[in-house]
Amino acid sequence: MQKLEVFGANKLKGQINISGSKNASLPILAATLLTDKKVFLNNLPKVKDIETMINLLQSLGSKTKFEKKKLIIDNSNQEKKFASYSLVKTMRAGILVLGPLLAKFGSAKVSLPGGCAIGTRPVDLHLKALSKLGVKYKIIQGYVHATAPKGLIGSKIRFSKISVGATENLIIAASLAKGNTILSNCAIEPEIKDLVNFLNKAGCNLKWVAKRSIKIIGVKKINEITYPIMFDRIEAGTYLVAAAATEGNLKIKNVVPSIIQTEIDTLKKIGAKIDTKKDQIHIIGNKKIKSMNIKTAPYPGFPTDLQAQIMVLLCKGNKRSLIQEDIFENRFMHVAELNRMGAQISTHGNKAIIEGNVNFASAELMATDLRASVSLILAALTAKGKSVINRIYHLDRGYENIEKKLKKVGAKIKRIN
């Protein structure tokens, strides 16, 4: 199994180009099932989750090929409607094929995603909302068996809780439904806006009618489309934290700063100096880091996917900080490993109390999930000596070329087979 060796502690300096967004690519890849015309996608990140989603599409009969960096998807002969456990179990976003398969074929059998390290992550909101579009379903031996006897029929649906995945599944399904759908209490993450832009460019008819409400007028078919995926805002946020934690000086390129204003404002409050240009963020880390209280929340709040990373920075704060994790119930698995490096963090339900003024010590570490893994790299980058991070397959699910990007800005980091 591969490991990473990280030798701290030097200041990161230089430029990092941000890749395409994993979390925007996944629903857009699922949405390509709606059309039998060709789809050309640019700026997909080369990460494991995208490979898994492409494998899932292929298992459903999609033909895919890369031409240079562009993925071409041809669904003209796509006719399978069964998504197996082996492909959905490793990546929860596999459930996103349910909506488009139902819209296209009127029936589908899709594995439940199953457990996940950061929480139970049910799909009840997806299923409840789909049933309002006329879907009948049963769960048999871990699979959702769903049919829409009269096809999908537009409806008014209010989500009882904000969910990124449920909003995406419903947006995709309703795009081909008969009549109009209004979804309210939607997630409005930038990746959802990217999905909506993609669908509209492909000939669908979606319009935001209020901050968290969208009107979808069902269309009959979807056109050929070429689309560039937006930048990965979590990857950008991770490197911003890396600069702040190492007193570095980084230019983060290929971004839209206004999309991550909450993160920029948070880092400024903590003490980093930040200047933004049209597609670039320049950050200079400060030796003095101010403590802060942070709550994770749906967009435009502070992202749960950046909680582990910001915790590393707050360990270096001048006083005690508090993080309240309001999205997932079990997302503090990095805490035990950070404490082994000298952090003093205690958790109480969904709250973590983080004592400040910590100098991390290098250690051998175990990655537990995608964002937890990267938080260990960040801590190791600030610790003198060699740290070893095991189980980095978690990292490879979502960070493109992370060692290469970090090495280019002066980090000493090496992958060991």
Give the residue among 362, 360, 415, 361 at the shortest CA–CA distance from 391. Answer: 415
Give the residue among 387, 389, 373 at the shortest CA–CA distance from 48. Answer: 373
**Is 315 considered catalytic here?**
no
Residue 277, C-beta contacts closer than 8 angstroms, at least 6 positions apart = 257
Min dist. Cβ of residue 125 to ligand UD1 (A): 3
The smaller minimum CB distance to ligand UD1, of residues 46 and 319, is found at: 46
Closest-by-Cβ residue to ligand UD1 is 165
Tokens of 324: 């309240």
The smaller minimum CB distance to ligand UD1, of residues 195 and 289, is found at: 195
The smaller minimum CB distance to ligand UD1, of residues 187 and 352, is found at: 187
- In the region spanning residues 288 to 307, those forming contacts with ligand UD1, defined by CB under 6 A, are 304-305
Tokens of 209: 């009618």
- Does 164 contact ligand UD1 by CB under 6 A? yes
Min dist. Cβ of residue 123 to ligand UD1 (A): 4
- In the region spanning residues 333 to 392, those forming contacts with ligand UD1, defined by CB under 6 A, are none
Q: How far apart are the C-alpha atoms of 15 and 280, rounded to whole Å?
A: 10
The smaller minimum CB distance to ligand UD1, of residues 74 and 326, is found at: 326
- Does 48 contact ligand UD1 by CB under 6 A? no
The smaller minimum CB distance to ligand UD1, of residues 114 and 342, is found at: 114
Which DSSP state fits 330? T
412-416: strand order across its sheet? 364-366, 385-390, 3-8, 412-416
Give the residue among 356, 416, 371 at the shortest CA–CA distance from 389. Answer: 416
Q: Name the packing angle between helices 124-132 and 98-105 (round to 10°).
A: 20
- Does 165 contact ligand UD1 by CB under 6 A? yes
Query: Exactly one of 231, 328, 332, 399 binds ligand UD1 (CB under 6 A); which one?
Result: 328
Min dist. Cβ of residue 116 to ligand UD1 (A): 8
Provide the 3-class DSSP secondary structure of residue 208: strand
Tokens of 105: 């074929």
Distances (CA, A) of 53 to 293, 295, 354: 36, 31, 37
Cis peptide bond N-terminal to 9, omega within 30: yes
- In the region spanning residues 6 to 25, those forming contacts with ligand UD1, defined by CB under 6 A, are 23
Catalytic residue among 116, 186, 204, 315: 116
- Does 111 contact ligand UD1 by CB under 6 A? no
Min dist. Cβ of residue 251 to ligand UD1 (A): 26
- In the region spanning residues 88 to 107, those forming contacts with ligand UD1, defined by CB under 6 A, are 92-93
What is the dihedral sign for C-alpha 168, 171, 177, 181? positive
Min dist. Cβ of residue 235 to ligand UD1 (A): 12
Number of residues that bind ligand UD1 (CB under 6 A): 21
Residue 107 pairs in a beta bridge with 147
What is the dihedral sign for C-alpha 367, 29, 90, 302? positive
Query: Exactly one of 35, 111, 155, 163 binds ligand UD1 (CB under 6 A); which one?
Result: 163
Q: How far apart are the C-alpha atoms of 54 and 73, rounded to whole Å?
A: 9
Min dist. Cβ of residue 64 to ligand UD1 (A): 19
The smaller minimum CB distance to ligand UD1, of residues 306 and 411, is found at: 306
Q: How far apart are the C-alpha atoms of 332 and 267, rounded to whole Å?
A: 21
- Does 172 contact ligand UD1 by CB under 6 A? no
- In the region spanning residues 175 to 214, those forming contacts with ligand UD1, defined by CB under 6 A, are 187
Tokens of 120: 């139970």
Min dist. Cβ of residue 323 to ligand UD1 (A): 15
- Does 161 contact ligand UD1 by CB under 6 A? yes
Provide the 3-class DSSP secondary structure of residue 339: helix
The smaller minimum CB distance to ligand UD1, of residues 43 and 382, is found at: 43
Are 392 and 404 in contact by the 8 Å Cβ rule? The answer is no
Write each residue from 112 to 151 as x if it is in contact with ligand UD1 (CB under 6 A), else as -, in one continuous string. -------x-xxxxxx-------------------------
Min dist. Cβ of residue 102 to ligand UD1 (A): 16
Of 160-168, 200-208, 225-233, 401-409, the segment contacting ligand UD1 by CB under 6 A is: 160-168
Residue 216 pairs in a beta bridge with 181, 206
Distances (CA, A) of 157 to 152, 167, 290: 13, 10, 43
Catalytic residues: 116
- Which residues in this chain contact ligand UD1 in the complex, by CB under 6 A? 23, 26, 92-93, 119, 121-126, 161, 163-166, 187, 304-305, 327-328
